[in-house]
Amino acid sequence: MTENQATSKLVQQLKKHGFFWKCADRFTAGIPDIIGCYLGRFIAIEMKVDSGKPTPLQIYNMKLITKNTGYAAVITYSNKDNTWTLGDHTSPSASCLMDYLLYRMKEYYEN
């Protein structure tokens, strides 16, 4: 699965829970792949596939989002294992990962 395909699949799952869209700004580097709103909160997700890592500019922008009370995360899809990873949590499907992501967001905003 390519990064574009993984992002589209993730957006499809996210739309069941809030307002999310896939960013397509080719003229501004470092903008997260997915941006949305969940329970009135801003969320940004950078999607990576296999061993891909966020660029320094992407990391900087995610820090700015967090600093301004948004929630930012990096999600990785592994073609080798067909798994989705967020932090130290790995799930076999995008929908399972969404449950974990939404749990982490609620916990983040409650603290």
Provide the whole-model pTM: 0.85
Determine the pLDDT at residue 36: 92
Determine the pLDDT at residue 103: 82
Which of 13, 2, 3 lies closest to 33, judged by CA?
A: 3
Q: Give me 111's structure tokens.
A: 């603290």
What would the pLDDT profile of 37-88 be if each residue is shown by its tens digit?
A: 988 889 999 999 998 999 999 999 999 999 998 999 999 999 999 999 998 8
Q: Provide the CATH topology of domain 3-110.
A: Trna Endonuclease; Chain: A, domain 1 (3.40.1350)
Please state at what angle helix 94-110 crosses helix 3-14, rounded to 10 degrees.
60
What would the pLDDT profile of 12-49 be if each residue is shown by its tens digit?
A: 888 888 899 898 767 778 889 999 998 888 999 999 99
Which of 40, 52, 49, 45 lies closest to 14, judged by CA?
A: 45
Residue 107 pLDDT > 90: no
Distance CA 33, CA 53 (A): 13
Domain residue extents for the chain: 3-110
Distance CA 54, CA 46 (A): 7
| Residue type for position 40 | G
What secondary structure does DSSP assign to 18-57, as a single string?
Answer: SEEEE---TTSTT--SEEEEETTEEEEEEEEETT----HH
Determine the pLDDT at residue 88: 86
> For tokens 């709103």, what's the residue?
37
